[in-house]
Structure 1
Amino acid sequence: MYTPHTHRAGAGAYARLGVETQAMSASPHQLISMLFDGAITAVGMARHHMAARNIVAKGQAISKAVGIVDNGLKAGLDAKAGGEAGAALVANLSGLYDYVVRRLLQANLHDDAGALDEVESLLQGLASAWREIGTADR
């Protein structure tokens, strides 16, 4: 029998399949862009759930953003690329990602929408710079 729940579950599975297919055919540069997009989307969802006072969903969205930043963006940094200048850039980005994770955790603990705004702004700036690098390589 068709129910709204099965429709949502089917739509979610279809969306996941689309993202998985996109990720499988993406270049490493595009994968990083996808990580930024996912983190920014998760922060937006956390803001929405925070405003709606949905504590569980807010925590899940923030956890997703933390996971993307820590296990995706930060873990993907390569300190050996680019020599000494590259190592310095990696160290700076690693520190910035640590700061973003701390701000996300503070936002979760204190229902701090301002911290979410700050994180979103930082991630958007980094994502924009990353995309500019991609267009310069073409």
Structure 2
Amino acid sequence: MTVMRGAAAYGRGAGAYARVGVESGVMSANPHQLIVMLFDGAQGAIRAARIHMQAGNIAEKGKAISKALDIVNNGLMAALDIEKGGEIAERLGSLYDYIGRLLLAANLHSDQESLDQAEKLLDDIASAWREIGGTGGQG
């Protein structure tokens, strides 16, 4: 019983430590880095969903896809500024909407192909975003 309580306490402590690390990263990040963190989070959730899908773990697959959807809809989509971004922001919004529909299809039908397509699109956008950050005149 004590060992189980100790393991549970360790797990909570490790989780709290990880959250502090993430929160510290978020607090010190510039807007560009925050978007990169959103892409990383969505891509990580999709990778986790794929593993759960292949293992037949439906509940965890659903949680992972829900996390990816949340990041796309409430993070990446919400960060778009249509006024300043104009046509590019509108096109990204349409692409994020499509990615969201792919993720829903992947979840509903355990469709590996939809999951792969969503991941590929996010990878392409994230790569472009990272490239902009590397050459975007931050100095």
TM-score computed with the length of structure 1 as normaliser? 0.92
Residues 12-56 of structure 1: per-residue CA shift (max 9 Å, x gap): 221111111100000000000000000000000111111111111
Q: Provide the C-alpha distance between the structure 2 equivalents of 1:5 and 1:55, rounded to a whole number of angstroms.
A: 25
Equivalenced residue count is 134
Q: How far apart are 1:79 and its partner, in Å? A: 1.0
Q: How far apart are 1:113 and its partner, in Å? A: 1.1
Counterpart of 2:100 in structure 1: which amino acid? V
Q: Provide the C-alpha distance between the structure 1 equivalents of 2:99 and 2:79, rounded to a whole number of angstroms.
A: 16
Counterpart of 1:72 in structure 2: which amino acid? G
Among 39, 44, 63, which residue is 1:41 paired with? 44
- The structure with the greater share of residues assigned to helix is 2
Among 5, 9, 13, which residue is 1:10 paired with? 13
Instruction: Using the aligned pairs only, state the percent identity.
Output: 55
Q: Provide the C-alpha distance between the structure 2 equivalents of 1:11 and 1:2, rounded to a whole number of angstroms.
A: 16
Counterpart of 1:61 in structure 2: which amino acid? A
Q: Comparing both chains, which one has the higher relative contact order based on Cα–Cα distances under 8 Å and sequence gaps of 6 or more?
A: 1
- 1:4-83 counterparts in 2 under 5 A? 4-81=7-84
- Structure 1 segments unaligned to the other structure (5+ residues): none
Residues 67-102 of structure 1: per-residue CA shift (max 9 Å, x gap): 000000001000111xxxx31111110000000000
Counterpart of 1:129 in structure 2: which amino acid? A
TM-score computed with the length of structure 2 as normaliser? 0.91
- Structure 2 segments unaligned to the other structure (5+ residues): none
